[in-house]
Amino acid sequence: MEINKNVVVIDNPLIEHKLSIIRNKNTGTKEFREIIGEIACILCYHALSDAKLKEIEIETPICKTKVNILDEDNYAFVPILRAGTGMLNGLISMIPNAKIGHIGLYRNEETLEPTMYYYKMPKNISKKEVIILDPMLATGGSATDTIKMLKKDGVKKIKFLCIIAAPEGIERLQKEYPDVKIFTSCIDETLNEKGYIVPGLGDAGDRIFGTK
Ligand code: PRP
Ligand code: URA
């Protein structure tokens, strides 16, 4: 479902079913991780629906033919540490030769402002289409800081993939960076006073890595 041309919600019964499992606090680490990867893979499929293909000639066992291929080197995935790395396997299974950059951000639990502790991008990042990965778009602080850094590096085409988005995060991202298209598997109700998405799934990083 397209909320507007820059926000796509992949509402599908299968995804809704998978979301119901990861929202459940009794779901264990293994299943939680697997489902984050599966949904990420589906988000990637939708995010790449505008990909440009290049025609090449190959030979099947029967004859020569023309086929269309993706220039995988054109893409960079940028997971926001930590939780974004939980989505990486799903994306790599779709575009195994994409390059990978990392940005490390954690939210100050009082101010909810993100602090950057790591930033390393592939070379020629400015020439690539960058797909940012983070399961949770809450206040939007981590996403906007990441986009700010990438734009400073000259990146022109950026997409943001998340599992759950809060309306507040979507609004902020669209206001600050209207050119960045958001793909999410759902939009939840709101944020609570601690900046957690409601109903959400809790702390995505802790649930992926089993740290709490
Ligand atoms: C979580 C999440 C996002 C961020 C979203 O990370 O993975 O990066 O919060 O919140 P925001 O939209 O309000 O910025 P967290 O800071 O908990 O770090 P972690 O991934 O290391 O657990
Ligand atoms: N980060 C999370 O991991 N969960 C939320 O609900 C909000 C931010």
Which protein residues touch ligand 2 with a CB less than 6 Å away? Answer: 83, 136, 138, 195-197, 200, 203-205
Alpha carbon of 43 to ligand 2 centroid (Å): 19
Residue 14 pLDDT exceeds 70: yes
Mean pLDDT of 190-205: 97
The length of the chain is 212
Q: For residue 2, what pLDDT is reported?
A: 66
Asked whether the predicted pLDDT for residue 175 surpasses 80, the reply is: yes
Q: Name the CATH topology of 2-49+71-209.
A: Rossmann fold (3.40.50)
The residue nearest atom 15 of ligand 1, judged by CA position, is 106
Share of the chain above pLDDT 90, in %: 92
Ligand 2 atom closest to the Cα of residue 204 is: 3
- 89-128, pLDDT tens digit by residue? 999 999 999 999 999 998 888 888 899 999 999 999 999 9
User: Domain segments of the chain: what residues?
Assistant: 2-49+71-209
d(CA 22, CA 33): 9
- 60 pLDDT higher than 90: yes
- Give me the mean pLDDT over the 195-201 stretch: 97
Lowest mean pLDDT among 32-36, 43-47, 110-114, 204-208: 110-114
∠ CA 82-85-87 to the nearest 5 degrees? 130
List phi, psi (to 5°) of 65: -155, 160
Ligand showing the shortest atom-to-Cα distance for residue 114? 1
Both tokens of residue 122? 């592939």
Q: 123-161 pLDDT, tens per residue?
A: 999 999 999 999 999 999 999 999 999 999 999 999 999
pLDDT of residue 20: 98
- The pocket around ligand 1, CB under 6 angstroms, is made up of 80, 82-83, 105-107, 112, 114, 134-143, 169, 195, 203-205
Is the model's pLDDT at 55 over the cut of 90? yes
Amino acid identity, position 134: D
Give the global pTM. 0.96
Greater model confidence, 3 or 104? 104
Question: Do the beta carbons of residue 20 and residue 195 sit within 8 Å?
Answer: no
* Residue 173 pLDDT class (50, 70, 90 cuts): very high
